[in-house]
Chain A
Amino acid sequence: VPCRAGTVQIHTLLDRIGSGDGVWADLRHLEQLCATVRDTSLCGLGQSAPNPVLSTLQYFGKEYEELLSDEKKEVADA
């Protein structure tokens, strides 16, 4: 389940953030989801597929954050 359904959700979240419609909560969900998929998957794909997402989140976190619009950022901070 984590692999079959989780990778689809990771893709959806990345797509949304990439297209500039992402909100701060999406970034947090993405991070938690990646950890769940990596730690609980049965298959090798599920165990390793979240790794590139997690490492880009770690090293390019700023770029992700820039894609989230400022307006929504203020809402999330408030």
Chain B
Amino acid sequence: MRDMRPAVTVTFDGEEYEAFAGESVMDAARRLGVKIPSLCYLEGLSLWGGCRLCVVQIAEDHRLRPACATTVAQDMEIKTDTPMLRAHRKAIVEMLFAEGNHVCAVCVSNGKCELQDMAVATGMDHVRFDYQAPQREVDASHPKYVFDPNRCILCTRCVRVCDEIEGAHVWDVAFRGSDAELVAELGKPWGESTSCTWCGKCVAVCPTGAMAYQGKAVGEMEHHANIVIRLATARTKGEWLDPEEVG
């Protein structure tokens, strides 16, 4: 099917591309093969804009903008890769690692983790900040899944997928700022939650090892975040995308 949306011309790091009017800088970049790091963004879910990894610079504008929440415009000069942006992104990944307990060597998602991928993509090989080493209890009360808040980066993908796609809204973020944490049903153990349908979409979209199937050993957990765009497309257009194609 040919896309009939009007086109606009934009440049990514000096190279001209044709984007569709109304789409976000992130969607355009992904379609055109321009790599912009991101964590909280997931196609098919509402925007969160909280991870700040996808910040880009527009022309000489000193205010940086998140690519996921910026709409393309005619003649927009988008810079996705400058020394300053690289430094900022690296610092953000460092902050995430310092904030929780991200020990890849003992993590179920080791090798298949988006946070790990971001560390590689931004070249973060050590953390300059003090590790905050929080003491957070693992919630293994659910018969099928485990939630480890130590590995949670509060991207809210699970919150959004549970609310928007499944319609159960089991998950939400409690408290604010550095006290923020993910809770099931106003703070109950996950296994005691009555609204959870056991659908497992939260586990599928988790970028890290925070949510996993019971009984997975180190490096065994595989997430399937592309389920969301398939479900969203099926719902709005009535067709199933090929899982191979949506990556």
A40 to B95, CA, bound (A): 13
Instruction: Return the contact of B132 from the options A7, A8, A13, A33 (Cβ within 8 A).
Output: A8
Nearest-neighbor residue (CB-CB) of B129 within chain A = A9
Check A36 against B88 for contact (C-beta < 8 Å): yes
Nearest-Cβ distance from residue B178 to partner chain A, whole angstroms: 5
- List the interface of chain A (C-beta within 8 A of B): 1-9, 12-13, 25, 29, 32-33, 35-36, 39-42
Q: A12 to chain B: which residues have CB within 8 Å?
A: 129-130
Interface size class of B (residues with CB under 8 A): 20 to 34
Q: Is B174 in contact with chain A by the CB < 8 A criterion? A: no
Q: A5 to chain B: which residues have CB within 8 Å?
A: 95-96, 98-99, 178
Check A41 against B98 for contact (C-beta < 8 Å): no
Nearest-neighbor residue (CB-CB) of B62 within chain A = A39
Nearest-neighbor residue (CB-CB) of B100 within chain A = A5
Nearest-neighbor residue (CB-CB) of B66 within chain A = A42
- List the interface of chain B (C-beta within 8 A of A): 49-53, 55, 63-64, 66, 84, 87-88, 91-92, 95-96, 98-99, 128-130, 132, 153-154, 177-178, 180
Nearest-Cβ distance from residue A28 to partner chain B, whole angstroms: 9
Check B130 against A42 for contact (C-beta < 8 Å): no
Check B92 against A29 for contact (C-beta < 8 Å): no
A41 to B63, CA, bound (A): 10
Instruction: Return the contact of B64 from the options A1, A9, A39 (Cβ within 8 A).
Output: A39
Given known contacts A1-B50, A40-B52, A40-B55, A9 and B88 CB-to-CB distance under 8 angstroms: no
Kindly name the residue among B84, B95, B177 whose own CB sees the greatest number of chain A CB atoms within 10 A.
B95
Check A1 against B52 for contact (C-beta < 8 Å): yes
Nearest-neighbor residue (CB-CB) of A40 within chain B = B52
Check A42 against B180 for contact (C-beta < 8 Å): no
Nearest-Cβ distance from residue A53 to partner chain B, whole angstroms: 15
A13 to B129, CA, bound (A): 8
Q: B50 to chain A: which residues have CB within 8 Å?
A: 1, 42
Check B88 against A40 for contact (C-beta < 8 Å): yes
Given known contacts A36-B87, A41-B52, A42-B52, A1 and B92 CB-to-CB distance under 8 angstroms: yes
